[in-house]
Structure 1
Amino acid sequence: MRYSVDGVPALLEVNPRFPGAMPLTIAAGVDMPALLLDLVLGRPVPSAVDFAELANVRFLEDVFLDPGGGARLRERRALGRSRRMTALLRGDFHVHSTFSDDARSTLTENIAAAHAAGLELLRLTDHVRASTTWVPEFLAAVAAESVPEGLTVLTGVEAKLLDVSGAVDAPAGLVVGAGGVGAVVIGDHQFPGTDGPWSPEATRARLAAGLSADDALDLLVTASIRAMERTPNAQLAHWFSILPKVGLSEEQLGDDRLLAWASAATATGTIVEVNEKWDCPGPAAVAALQSAGARIVASTDSHQAGDVGRYERVSAILDAAAVIRRPKGDQ
């Protein structure tokens, strides 16, 4: 099995000389050829089949079939989880520089820190508002940096979610993609209200005045989905960090809201961070994203170079999400 740079299974190679000797990875929701399933289960197969072909499959979920016994099955699952987690932690997709007014380290210092931490992917990300004019200078400065071999540097701008329509506080005419920033990193810094962003204090006041928790959570999830749908190259930053600020929690979201949110991330190609600084989204949300096939990345939300690529909370969240998704027989 070969893995992509994100640690996702990307290529299944069948060894014709040892049929059934290795577990076969089957993609959940993908119609694999019956021939391959027969092969791994040791059933008779036509002699005219060309076993030299490679099966390329987009994997949404790994299920390993192991006719030889449960121990090998569990080992393969654990190895797959370990590989994917290790790959995630070799990236930091949210690192601020002095282009942000609350950060202390330069682009050069952040790149050096990423290289020292052994990272392979780094997204340099700085705060913008609708009034921001320096994005071209930011892109030029990043392009002028010397990048060590083995490190890929990406760009992004962080803009806050504004309201239930999914609008974000980004400059008009922002170029995203070729010739522009690599991603719009959307932050839930305030609560997306019906008439604009609500501060945590204003949101708590509305909840105290009769806004139900369910209605508030519906507003947040609806705004999240609409933001993903209308924002090109979106990346969700520290999602659901707003909830404890307003007296709510991720545990109140429930399976249906998480499914709708995770499915939208998959459908729109939105990247979702597991954020070290804010310790979110939590294990249930991450498990929902993984089950839906969404792309997850790790981030520190670093504002100083010494924090780049250093993970503790992210690792714990990923471990807990793996337990949630693990088949009951393996727990």
Structure 2
Amino acid sequence: MFSTTVNFSRGVVVGAKQESVIGAACALDLTVDAHVHTGFSAGRDAVGVVVSAADRAGLTALTFADQAGPDTTWLNAYADAVRRARHRTEMTLRVAAEVEIVRPDGWLALPADLTQLDALSVAISALPIGDELLDARAIRALLADGALTAELVAEQLIAATVQGLERASRYVPTQLARPLALLAQAGVDDAAVSPALIADLAAACRGTGTVVEISEAWRSPSPRLVALLRDAGVTLVPASDARYAAEVGGWQYLRRV
């Protein structure tokens, strides 16, 4: 466990671009939860219920990161709910949205209006190759047929992630959600992620001010990748990915890594 802390705060505008002021590299503060869900999307509980659970868990900062996309219509109500909750707690509450990279060039399935957001949490649930999005099952099948190699999957995944972070960071501060979790889902050992690929990912994170979430729910990234990213000067933050309020700030995997 790291001993220094990460302090969440709003992005500050620098020229035409927002810069993240979330924290210092190599720091991990377990009183922060950088990714939780609510009943607006992938979660089950209301914003106020999640905040109350986080208060009981002794957290100091919480980022709401419900899954959103081009068809999302509830962002205003979502942001309003978080803002109202700020009046009932001393915690720092941030409004974010989890968005997907959907093309090899890093194109994002963004909501139409980002003005309500303090951050974007960038994820890849399916591998973009050409015009296709390959889920874990499809990747496994192609690996078994020899149409893909583990190294190519890792290379394509990192390349799309790097491009996606560069695009997302043009709008608001960025976080990388459940990094490379798709590899484990597809049965690809993270040894396929070479030091050169990690260096590319780390450079993109540093260059865009992106913080990397260590996901409790997804057990991602692996301890090996956590160590490599930490050594490369990437900022790491705890993220429960909680879908139920009772899961907020509950750390088991994070304490091991």
Q: For the superposition of Structure 1 and Structure 2, which TM-score range results when normalised by the shorter chain?
A: 0.7 to 0.9
Aligned counterpart, 1:47: none
Aligned counterpart, 2:206: 266
135, 144, 161: which is aligned to 1:224?
Answer: 161
| Structural mapping, 1:1-331, within 5 Å | 5-6=5-6, 84-85=27-28, 88-100=29-41, 102-175=42-115, 180-207=116-143, 208-232=145-169, 233-317=173-257
CA spacing shift, 1:240–1:59, aligned 2, 3 Å: closer
CA spacing shift, 1:60–1:4, aligned 2, 3 Å: closer
CA spacing shift, 1:59–1:269, aligned 2, 3 Å: closer
How far did 1:205 drift? 2.7
Q: Distance in 2 between matches of 1:173 and 1:197?
A: 24
Supply the AA of the counterpart residue of 2:53: A
Asked if the contact 1:111/1:147 (under 8 Å) is kept, the reply is: no
CA spacing shift, 1:266–1:148, aligned 2, 3 Å: same
Q: Distance in 2 between matches of 1:312 and 1:60?
A: 22
Supply the AA of the counterpart residue of 1:205: A
Q: Distance in 1 between matches of 2:141 and 2:4?
A: 47
Q: Distance in 2 between matches of 1:157 and 1:192?
A: 20
How far did 1:256 drift? 1.5
Asked if the contact 1:162/1:193 (under 8 Å) is kept, the reply is: no
Q: Deviations over 1:205-253 (max 9, x none)?
A: 3322422222221100100111111112221111111112222121221
Asked if the contact 1:160/1:187 (under 8 Å) is kept, the reply is: yes
How far did 1:131 drift? 1.0
How far did 1:60 drift? 6.1
Q: Give unpaired runs (5+ residues) of structure 2.
A: 8-22
Q: Which protein has greater RCO, CA pairs closer than 8 Å, 6+ apart?
A: 2
CA spacing shift, 1:59–1:248, aligned 2, 3 Å: closer
| Larger-Rg structure | 1
Aligned counterpart, 1:69: none
Q: Give unpaired runs (5+ residues) of structure 1.
A: 8-57, 62-83, 318-331
Q: Distance in 2 between matches of 1:160 and 1:122?
A: 21
CA spacing shift, 1:60–1:275, aligned 2, 3 Å: closer
Q: Distance in 2 between matches of 1:219 and 1:103?
A: 30
Q: Which moved more, 1:223-232 or 1:140-149?
A: 140-149
CA spacing shift, 1:164–1:147, aligned 2, 3 Å: same
Q: Distance in 2 between matches of 1:107 and 1:231?
A: 25
The normalised TM-score by structure 1 is 0.67
Asked if the contact 2:86/2:93 (under 8 Å) is kept, the reply is: no
Q: Distance in 1 between matches of 2:49 and 2:202?
A: 34
How far did 1:187 drift? 1.8
